[in-house]
Amino acid sequence: MINQLLLIFSAIIIYEFVRFTKFITIAKSSLKINKKIFKLFAYKKVSDLRKQRLIFYYSKSLFISSIKIISIIVIIIIFMFILNLLSYSFLNFVISIFGIFEMIVFLIIYYQFKKKINAKL
């Protein structure tokens, strides 16, 4: 029972944290930068000096977004380990098929509930 409560609690916290940090936007921008870098290598008419400058700029942007992604994932993992201290079988429950299914169902219900509440406001 405590594992289900921790699962619900952690699912809400992680979902809101991901939305707050705009994780999806950061990941999409990282993919866009990767696409730009690969397109840049395909161009033959662009001078080498311009390619060097653009690659440096893209690399710097990609590095910053990668650091953001890694830090968000590390914070989520630390949070999960802290919750595991409350119940030693929590991580085993979350990783199990039943735990994953329960989390997905709960997040869908939470998302629909939150969408209806925000529509009324």
* pLDDT in the model for residue 70: 97
The per-residue pLDDT for 110 is 95
Q: Please, are residues 24 and 108 in contact by the beta-carbon 8 Å criterion?
A: no
Q: Shortest CA distance to 8 belongs to which of 96, 78, 109?
A: 109
Look at residues 57, 63, 75, 62 and name the one whose alpha carbon lies nearest to residue 21: 75
What's residue 1's pLDDT? Answer: 83
Q: What is the pLDDT at residue 45? A: 84
Which pLDDT tens digits describe the chain residue by residue (121 residues)? Answer: 889 999 999 999 999 999 999 999 999 999 999 999 999 888 888 888 888 999 999 999 999 999 999 999 999 999 999 999 998 899 999 999 999 999 999 999 999 999 999 887 6
The predicted pLDDT at position 96 comes to 94
Rounded to whole angstroms, how far apart are CA atoms 12 and 28? Answer: 23
Q: How many domains does the chain have?
A: 1
**How many other C-beta atoms are found inside a 10 Å radius of the C-beta of residue 106?**
16
- Structural domain including 62 reads 2-120
Three-state DSSP class for residue 69: helix
